[in-house]
Chains A and B, each alone.
Chain A
Amino acid sequence: MSKIVRTVANQLMAFVLVFGLYVIMHGHVTPGGGFQGGAIIASGVVMLIVAFGSGQIKKFLRERRLSLVESSGALLFILIAFAGIGTVFFYNFLVGSRIFGGIPPTGSNPGDVWTGGVIPVMNLAVGLKVTAGLSAAVLALALFSSGEEMEE
């Protein structure tokens, strides 16, 4: 792609990242969540692939790192679920604690980010996994169609 496209894509990526992170971290009070935010960031990666070509992107989005991030996201999710096992698996043990412990008022409310217990943390974990997983999948498909293989 031309230099203009590449420059614009470069600048836009920052906004895409911010928006994706916003959607991930506000998943428990507004529409959105880990998957949606992760998909937004991955679509930013698609934009970069279109602008720069899959060969360029492959150089700094290594599969090893993506797989590391993906695994740790999934691991974080499951570990949080395991952490509640003192009571019951998936028990929301953070409610009332200092991290995301606020209890939202019932009924219509302006929305408080500092609520939800483990749910925002799980959203973050899912967001990490989906960002890495979808980027890897898109990159692999792009490399496939240009005739290369992803390195192991």
Chain B
Amino acid sequence: MTLIVESGYDFWNPIIWLIAFAVVMVIVYFFRRRGEGKYKKGEDQAQIFLCGEEVPGAEQRQVRGGNAYWGFLETLKEYYDGIVRPHTGIVNDYVVWFIAVVAISAIILFVVELVG
């Protein structure tokens, strides 16, 4: 009983989830074992293949953090241009944002009061 989190709509019990996860893992293991026998360590099969070209060293091969998600950032370039511009890093702007939030929430609070 106490192992269950009730959300008023549904419940969440990680123990059940873990059991289901274990069952799936067993099935996956069976699939995996079928292919395991053909794999031979130490042969060419285990080497990197790059269209027959010479494989570059580790420094060149590594995908750097700055290159990851290049496509995502490039597609959403307009959004990011807009969103990065306010992040100026100037301490004065931080104060401006604070005052803006105070002002906007005060206006919302009073406008709703007047209307309703």
A/B touching: CB–CB < 8 A: no
B residues touching A (Cβ–Cβ < 8 Å)? none
